[in-house]
Structure 1
Amino acid sequence: MSKYYEHQNRNKRGSKSKIGFYAAFAICLVAVCMAVYSTYNTVINPTAKLSTTPTDAQQVNQAVTGVTVTVPSPTISFEEPTEALPEITLPTAVSDEAAEPTTEDTTYSDDALQTMLSADLSLSYPVAGGKVVRPYSKDSVYFKTLNVWKPHLGTDFAADLGDNVLAMCGGEVTKVTDDKLFGKTVEISVNNAVCVYSGLGDIKVSQGDRVEKGDVIGSVGTVPFESDSENHIHAAVKVNGSYADPLNFIGNEE
């Protein structure tokens, strides 16, 4: 009997051991299945754990509406100068003193015919050839050397340096000067007229001498204020103190 009960007890313990093994195996299998499912679910549906993004958040690259941005317009201000601009004075080529010749004033006759009739005067050319470089003009003309505009109250006759300068009329030598603008100058007076020769080189007469028409009174030199022109002699005529065109009296036979 004792052996029988002992055998039964062994069978019961074996059955319990088998039941415990299968229960533990089942629990492990369930745990493995749950782990596999969880991993699979995470890989297949990753957005399941990223559900923290607010549903009303604006998508990237989606245009934003309902927002108005005001950009201020730039403003530029200018401050006016508090001090007056300096006055600009343009330089002149010569001084006021040099602008007007010292031996020639600006008095001239408005009526050439009246001047001619008031003078019993007949002149010849002061140099051979009689070519005119610059004519007489009571209107202002441009003088390049001085960089000024002024009347040209004489007639310029072309000649080479050293050529003889001849008396245009007979008369008395009343003045011999050396002017800074006109150069060496001789004046010969007859009745109410004065003949002026400027730009001489050598002077062969003296004040007080008497000359005849055609006499040599000097040689051709230079006229400082007309040095830009070709070589010439500057001849002027004054009748009753007023300048007149020398050409009006050349060839006017007595």
Structure 2
Amino acid sequence: MKKPWTDRFSDFMAGKGFYIVLFLCVAAIGISGYYLFSTLGGDDPAAPVGGTAQVTVTPSPSVSPSPTVDAVKPTIPATASSTPTPSATPAPSASAAPSSSPKPSEVVTSSVYTWPVKGAVLNAFSPDQQVFSPTMGDWRTHEGVDIAADLGIQVKAAAGGTVTAIEQDYFMGTTVTIDHGNGMVSVYSNLAELPTVEVGDVVTTGDIIGSVGSTAKSESLTASHLHLEMLKDGAYVDPLDYLPDVK
């Protein structure tokens, strides 16, 4: 009976087959060594397997140390003062202070006076001696002069100056006050209700300031007239001492 092929292969391997396998292993090792040698040595079989290896080392760039805070901190000179010295504040001059109220323009006293209206003197200046008042029915002083003039007659400034007041006096009616400077003041009463000037206006000698009216209750029984007063340094003076002799 013929043996199976497995049994026959086993018998072969037990005999010569061992040497055949050993030869094949050696051959395989040789072939592998040849290819390895060819790969390392290049095309020249005589070239040595090991060569001189050159390794180039690139130095890493040096990093400069970061400057410390002290290195960049500005140096303060020893002589400098740490506290700034405030500069001296100039004292304001008196002229720089604003005025609390409008100041009238400076007016030089005029040496030229004129009659505010043309007419006879009905009642003279009498600051010390009392005279009878037909309107009030009593005796009293008279600090001005009453100059006869018809209703509506224009009233002129007796001298140049600044209008300082316009009043509706209960007894003397519509009244305009002009400051002529150097303590001289003139007062015009019994005017019509609407003067032609305003407070602060600067007038010259002969300028129209209003017209004769009938507003003075305390002199209503006196013929139509202008009541004129003048003061020097606050004291009443006789207007006739300043008005020209010829009317």
User: What are the within-5 Å matches in structure 2 for residues 1-254 of structure 1?
Assistant: 121-127=111-117, 129-138=118-127, 139-191=129-181, 192-201=183-192, 202-222=194-214, 223-251=216-244
- Whole-angstrom CA distance in 2 between matches of 1:156 and 1:213: 20
How many pairs are equivalent?
A: 133
Q: Distance in 2 between matches of 1:167 and 1:210?
A: 10
Unaligned runs of 5+ in 2: 1-108
In structure 1, distance between residues paired with 2:143 and 2:110: 20
Give the Å deviation of 1:224.
1.4
Q: In 1, Cα distance between the equivalents of 2:158 and 2:207?
A: 8
Per-residue deviation, residues 19-56 of structure 1 (Å, max 9, x unmatched): xxxxxxxxxxxxxxxxxxxxxxxxxxxxxxxxxxxxxx
RMSD, matched Cα = 1.5
Distance 2:121 2:113 in 1: 15
Shift of 1:130: 3.2
Q: CA deviation at 1:213?
A: 0.6
2:231 partner amino acid: K
Normalised TM-score (structure 1): 0.50
Report the Cα distance in structure 2 between the residues aligned to 1:132 and 1:147, rounded to whole angstroms.
Answer: 21
- Extract unaligned runs of 5+ from structure 1: 1-118
User: 1:58-109 CA deviation, whole Å, 9 max, x = no partner?
Assistant: xxxxxxxxxxxxxxxxxxxxxxxxxxxxxxxxxxxxxxxxxxxxxxxxxxxx
| Corresponding residue SS for 2:152 | coil
TM-score, normalised to structure 2's length?
0.52
Question: Aligned AA for 2:161?
Answer: G
Higher-Rg member (1/2)? 2
SS in 2 for 1:198: strand
How far apart are 1:124 and its partner, in Å?
1.1
How far apart, CA to CA, are the structure 2 residues paired with 1:195 and 1:122? 14
- Percent identical across equivalent pairs? 39
Which secondary structure does the structure 1 equivalent of 2:240 belong to?
Answer: helix
Residue 136 of structure 1 contacts residue 245 of structure 1 at CA under 8 Å; is this kept in 2? yes
Q: Deviations over 1:216-242 (max 9, x none)?
A: 100100221011110000000000000
- Is the 8 Å Cα contact of residues 110 and 160 (structure 2) preserved in structure 1? no
Using the alignment, how far apart are the partners of 1:205 and 1:228 within structure 2?
A: 27
| Cα contact 1:140–1:151 (8 A) shared by 2 | yes
Distance (whole Å) between structure 2 residues aligned to residue 196 and residue 238 of structure 1? 8
Q: 1:145 aligns to what SS in structure 2? A: coil
| 2:145/2:228 contact within 8 Å kept | yes
CA deviation string 1:183-214 (max 9, x = no partner): 00000001211100000003000111000110
